[in-house]
């Protein structure tokens, strides 16, 4: 009798579990489905049948975007901005984190708290003075005008992640290196950095996704569409084509494709990086 | 005699400095500090700390930012703050920001937890579902907003298909002041629940199997195991995800941009940051915008410090 009811509970629980997973997956995937297919439909078909497969697969919306030099310039701008941001954050944050983890100096705890403070405040709290500062430096409409704020706002979290990792490196390694006459600088470049590939990847991915998707800094700092990264290009395209949703959906599909492919290949680091590795700590 | 002591004193200073430097610079300690600290600290101070502090200064001025503050700015004391606090659109913005937090606590995080419990154990199918649920999170906020802008389009989108299937009149949720922000909340859940799910999964995978086995041997039902064993054990993950969802609500902005223009119908869909953008940046009122930024800063600071103090530090 008891075994029977237990089985029944197990059975209904299993149905509930699959039901939950299926419904949630449908909720998540439906917008993707509509978007990707939408680009293959005509405007009229999109209106009559947003959900189903297209009757005729129209590729013109996709082709128009793929052969437009604007698309590639914009993606190029994004690659440049993101590339520099990631490189700078990795170098600056790892160096700073190393001084916190391996060099004892007066006031280092205060300095560390000072940097970590940056994690709590969204870029929006600083956006107006930042705009004025970038303008006064003559960096509006330049890549640097977007890269520098992105680097600055990426530092805090990265320093936290790097420091946690560096502190877990075996202490003997460091002492042995010092005894052998290997200084702090060489120890960092020759031993710490090569041992830190997992954390470099994690932080790199975290900064990469933030920078690639960032909209607010380019929105404020860039006015000249020749330096627009893709999120601004997307919004400009949307403004240009208004209600031609098939084009816009095609454009969205093309711009999210790199992110999705990258995600499938680097899942492990993306999940670690985007959850801030915070779960472990 | 006295003429001789001066140079020797000077040289003894130099010697002391030298010997201090050598003592402390073993292994290049000081050199490394001098090379490693300044670059990051300069960038951080210049583009994070300084601008945030300058917001504090600007918030007391009426200023459009096109001239020097000393020439074009006019000291108005607390008037920017008074104006903001009396502005009913600001009240809406604060309430909407709170709504994001409430919806996160009431729907998003429980959904994330339910899904996490469903797919936490390692298997290929579970891994596939995890990927699916996490997928929206890797999209840019503007993309998520734009996709849903189409879905909510009463003329061509999914909403249009539903209303025409039931022969109802066209409905534009984003143009309806009662619905606009609720529609945005759906997008928030869609995009972010997978992120919280990942945090919970990492927590759940940290629970040792022995613990679960022991509970089973004691005759605990699966439901009881979840309530009495799993949830208390992953409380650190839960409080972390609550922290992230509150901070996320406070800085909510980019997703709203493609969904609604200038705060939606009658400003009914404003949040704190879209309010700052609309009334500070678009209208080039640097002083007023900075006052909003100061309030946002205080909200973040008060929340982060008290959460750290009262929730994160408590013993588990």
How many alpha carbons lie under 13 Å from residue B244 in its C-beta half-sphere? Answer: 22
- The per-residue b/e assignment along A116-133, b for 16 or more CB within 10 angstroms, e otherwise, is ebbbbbbbbbbbbbbbbb
B226, B145 Cβ separation under 8 angstroms: no
Q: Is the pLDDT of residue A5 over 70?
A: no
On average, the pLDDT of chain A sits at 88
- Enter the ipTM: 0.89
Provide the CA B310 distance to its chain's centre, in angstroms.
19
Residues 6+ apart with CB under 8 A from A144: none
For an interface test with B, which of A129, A137, A157, A166 has the most B Cβ atoms less than 10 Å from its Cβ?
A: A129
Which residues of chain A neighbour B112 with C-beta distances below 8 Å?
Answer: none
Which residue matches tokens 């899904």? Answer: B115
Beta-ladder partners of B61: B75
Superfamily of domain A61-274: MetI-like (1.10.3720.10)
Q: How confident is the model at residue A90 (pLDDT cuts 50, 70, 90)?
A: very high
Q: How many angstroms from the chain centroid is the CA of residue B59?
A: 22
Distance CA B58, CA B80 (A): 10
Question: In a structure prediction context, what are the per-residue pLDDT tens digits for chain B, which is 316 residues long?
Answer: 444 555 666 678 888 888 888 777 877 888 899 999 999 999 999 999 999 999 999 999 999 888 888 888 889 999 999 999 999 999 999 999 999 999 999 999 999 999 999 998 888 999 999 999 999 999 999 999 999 999 998 888 888 888 888 888 888 899 888 999 999 999 999 999 999 999 999 889 888 888 888 888 888 888 888 888 899 989 988 998 999 899 999 999 999 999 998 888 989 999 999 999 999 999 989 999 999 999 999 999 999 989 988 888 765 4
Average pLDDT over residues A76-90: 97
Of all residues in chain B, the one with the smallest CA distance to A92 is: B40
State residue A3's pLDDT score: 43
pLDDT at position A9 is 58
Which are the contacts of A199, defined by CB distance < 8 A and separation ≥ 6? A161, A162, A165, A277
Please report where in the chains the tokens 């700078």 appear, as a residue.
A88
Query: How deeply is A239 buried, as exposed, middle or buried, from its count of CB atoms within 10 A (0-12, 13-18, 19+)?
Result: exposed
Predicted confidence at residue B142, as pLDDT, reads 95
Nearest to B297 by CA among A134, A131, A117, A150: A117
Are B266 and B177 within 8 A, CB to CB?
Answer: yes
Closest by Cα among B55, B147, B89, B97 to B252: B97
The whole-number pLDDT of residue A1 equals: 37
Strand partners, B62: B74
Residues A135, A223: Cα–Cα separation, whole Å = 12
In B, residues 209-268, which contact A (CB 8 Å cutoff)?
221-222, 237, 240, 247, 250-251, 253-254, 257-258
What's residue B195's pLDDT? 92
Please write the tens of the pLDDT for every residue from A222-236: 999 999 999 999 999
> Which pair of tokens denotes residue B269?
């869909």
Q: How long a stretch of residues is chain B?
A: 316
Lowest mean pLDDT among A121-135, A157-171, B153-167: B153-167
User: Could you tell me the residue ranges of all domains in chain B?
Assistant: 2-58, 81-312
Q: Report residue A137's pLDDT band, with 50, 70 and 90 as the boundaries.
A: very high
pLDDT score for A180: 83
- DSSP count for chain A of H helices, then E strands: 15, 0
Specify the 3-state DSSP secondary structure of A102: helix
| Gap between the Cα atoms of B54 and B202, Å rounded | 40
Structure-block tokens of residue A177? 């290196």
- Asked whether B115 and A21 are in contact (CB, 8 A), the reply is yes
8 A C-beta contact, residue B236 and residue B203: yes
Characterize B237-261 residue by residue with b for buried, 16 or more Cβ atoms within 10 angstroms of its Cβ, and e for exposed: bbebbbbbbbbbbbbbbbbbbbbbe
Query: Does the beta-carbon distance from A128 to B58 stay under 8 Å?
Result: yes
Hey, what CATH topology would domain B81-312 get?
Answer: MetI-like fold (1.10.3720)
Tokens of B289: 């915008």
Which of B187, B196, B60, B198 lies closest to B120, judged by CA?
A: B198
Lookup: tokens for B7: 């140079």
Size of the A and B interface in Cβ pairs below 8 Å: 268
């Amino acid at each position: 009798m008891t075994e029977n009811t237990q089985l029944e509970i197990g059975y209904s629980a299993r149905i509930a579990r699959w039901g939950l997973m299926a419904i949630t997956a449908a909720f998540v995937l439906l917008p993707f489905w509509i978007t990707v297919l939408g680009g293959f439909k005509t405007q009229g078909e999109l209106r009559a049948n947003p959900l189903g497969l297209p009757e005729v697969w129209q590729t013109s919306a996709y082709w128009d975007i793929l052969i437009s030099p604007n698309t590639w310039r914009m993606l190029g701008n994004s690659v440049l901005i993101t590339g520099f941001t990631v490189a700078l954050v990795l170098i600056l944050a790892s160096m700073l984190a190393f001084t916190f983890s391996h060099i004892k100096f007066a006031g280092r705890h205060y300095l560390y708290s000072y940097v970590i403070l940056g994690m709590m405040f969204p870029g929006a709290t600083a956006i107006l003075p930042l705009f004025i500062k970038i303008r006064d430096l003559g960096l509006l409409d330049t890549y640097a005008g977007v890269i520098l704020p992105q680097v600055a706002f990426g530092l805090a979290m990265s320093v936290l992640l790097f420091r946690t990792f560096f502190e877990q490196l075996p202490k003997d390694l460091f002492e042995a290196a010092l005894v052998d006459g290997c200084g702090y600088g060489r120890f960092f470049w020759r031993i710490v950095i090569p041992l830190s590939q997992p954390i470099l990847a994690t932080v790199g991915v975290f900064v990469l996704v933030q920078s690639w998707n960032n909209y607010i800094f380019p929105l404020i700092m860039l006015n000249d569409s020749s330096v627009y990264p893709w999120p601004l290009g997307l919004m400009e395209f949307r403004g240009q084509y208004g209600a031609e949703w098939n084009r816009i959906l095609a454009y969205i599909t093309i711009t999210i494709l790199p992110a999705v492919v990258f995600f499938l290949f680097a899942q492990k680091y993306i999940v670690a990086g985007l959850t801030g590795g915070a779960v472990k700590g | 005699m006295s003429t001789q002591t001066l140079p020797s004193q000077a040289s003894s200073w130099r010697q002391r400095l030298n010997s201090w430097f050598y003592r402390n610079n073993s292994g290049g300690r000081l050199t490394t500090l001098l090379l490693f600290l300044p670059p990051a600290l300069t960038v951080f101070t210049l583009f994070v700390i300084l601008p945030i502090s300058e917001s504090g200064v600007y918030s007391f001025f009426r200023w459009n930012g096109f001239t020097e503050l000393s020439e074009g700015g006019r000291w108005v004391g607390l008037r920017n703050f008074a104006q903001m606090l009396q502005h009913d659109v600001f009240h809406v913005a604060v309430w909407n920001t709170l709504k994001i937090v409430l919806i996160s606590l009431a729907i998003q995080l429980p959904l994330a937890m339910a899904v996490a419990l469903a797919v936490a154990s390692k298997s290929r199918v579970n891994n596939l579902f995890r990927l699916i649920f996490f997928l929206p999170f890797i999209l840019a906020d503007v993309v998520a907003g734009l996709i849903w802008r189409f879905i909510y389009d009463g003329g061509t989108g999914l909403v249009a298909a539903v209303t025409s299937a039931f022969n109802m009149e066209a409905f534009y949720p984003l143009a309806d002041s009662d619905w606009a922000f609720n529609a945005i909340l759906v997008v928030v859940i869609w995009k972010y629940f997978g992120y919280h799910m990942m945090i919970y999964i990492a927590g759940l995978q940290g629970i040792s199997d022995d613990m679960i086995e022991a509970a089973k041997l004691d005759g605990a039902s699966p439901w009881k195991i979840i309530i009495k064993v799993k949830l208390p054990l992953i409380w650190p993950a839960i409080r972390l995800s609550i922290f992230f969802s509150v901070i996320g609500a406070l800085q909510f902005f980019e997703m709203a941009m493609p969904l609604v223009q200038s705060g939606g119908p009658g400003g009914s869909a404003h949040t704190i940051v879209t309010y700052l953008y609309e009334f500070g940046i678009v209208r080039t009122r640097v002083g007023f915008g900075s006052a909003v930024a100061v309030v946002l800063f205080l909200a973040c600071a008060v929340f982060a410090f008290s959460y750290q103090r009262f929730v994160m530090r408590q013993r588990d």
